[in-house]
Structure 1
Amino acid sequence: MREALNLNIEKATLESRLAFFTNCYNMQLIHITYKCGLPTTIWQRRRYLYSIYYQIGEHLYSLQSIFNGILRGNQKGYGMLWKPFGKQDQRRPYIIPYGEPLIHFAINTFNMSTPAILAYSTKVKTKKLAKKKG
């Protein structure tokens, strides 16, 4: 994550921002869990989501700001009183417009029912189907 300080994501495409921030969220989750352990209470979970920040480029991001601010299109999350990014926030240009509804199938949230952590990219991988002989 040290290299994230030097990233310039200003000119990134929408698809590459989506893949990048999805990967960042999952990497931050792994790093926080490695450093602090699995959350055992709701208060620890909230602390992990809201209070631990990582610097990406020129800005600071928590798990919550990536999830609700970037990936969900700056929407209020459960129990939030206001949107993650205000009108003057310099991170607003990185927001995925209208959010990505399928993001819930790509990120892990400390629950047993969330998907396995994968690395995402903008390239589409296709499998060649072998023709059946006979």
Structure 2
Amino acid sequence: MSIKLDEVADDIYSKVKDSLESDWNTLSTFHRSQGKKLARQAALLAQLKLSGELPQDDPIFETLNEQFEDAARNFTQAVSNLTILTLQNAWNTIVNTLWGAVNELLSGAGLGLLPIPKLGD
């Protein structure tokens, strides 16, 4: 019994591709939705300042500006976290496929299985 390298490579490719496409769709939907909201908030801040309705030293303007900064920071952190999860899913897909092929051979030979490594080990 042997590992069919081309089949394992093709399996990894298709599974990672499917995983990345799914995760990208999630990330893209979130990115577009939140990006539009941040753009509207930025436009409102600019309009308030340009029109003179709220001078820069007005406490209301400062509060709105701080809220905008927080929203931008939270958005960036969420995108970063989703990206990390996407990469972790790709790792899991690759490792599970490779170790699955190896462990199938070991099991067929009556040998013990190799433990599947965790990301960061």
Question: TM-score, normalising length from structure 2?
Answer: 0.33
Bigger Rg, which one? 2
